[in-house]
Chains A and B, each alone.
Chain A
């Protein structure tokens, strides 16, 4: 069965991310207080609340425009590095999706892959640096050739976030901690996993026709 990925699907996805970040904000902040500056939960909550509010004001007519608008709002409201990083992820993905009214899952996978590459380039980071990339790359790969294995992507993102625990941070404020960054899960990888959990939830809801 193919899920219709239209603008409304993407709007609901962003709402689901916002709700998940809202629920997990304390945990994100707690993780960030161990190796960062303890603002990740509040920053992400502020950014996603603003993004969802912008999407509710006027729902853009294409998936690409939804992601572009959400990304733009994240860049202008988050206030920390996660703003430009997630903003770039969504905007690049939105650009790849273009102005088609609905997109195939394979196309979404390509768009997300391109977005993750843009994040890596912006942050001059790679897998293994203990960043959001350690959740994002495995998640996009787990979407599979058909691009619609959303549950596999959810699991891969969560497992990817867990793999950051023994890593030593090589980017961001946590990198100043050196060895002391080892033993803590990366907050950015954790919030990245929430994006994919929300995607799976949104796709599941679309497939069963049940309201969230």
Chain B
């Protein structure tokens, strides 16, 4: 192991990590927003919109992110829409993550037992009160593990954006390997970088799961 090589080139990974974190963060935020809207549409059985939502979810989760990014980066310009690589990366992650988030949140909503709704009704709660005080908090509790897993998944998937020439950590690693042939050290730096980004997310996720786990508390 060439330690001095690793020490000399670590700063490339710091800059690249900003890119990875930046696109992951916005990708995840938009994915969650899309997920909330889609989950709500799915469980409420709105005519037209609910089937459209279903179609989006199936399209999104049954096509590879790489293909989605190629479409956004190389395909859309042919239709006259040119986005920066960064925009394409965020949109791609949100498009993919949206369906995963929607499914996790739908699962949470459907996990709330029917009797909870009925108890609230017998107590005189309005549908809105039932939703905000009973259904949503409990749905959140069951959805958190899935949502956290999706966040981690999306951050890792962001490595694919190197394919559209965005200088994330994966891109920098490939560059470094090509220039130096220190493959082993470069990949070690890459792994360390991902762990530094992802371990805190993992820990926060576990804390959130515990905090909102009404069933075990």
Whether A associates with B in a native complex is no
Q: Which residues of B contact A (CB under 8 A)?
A: none
Q: Which residues of A contact B (CB under 8 A)?
A: none
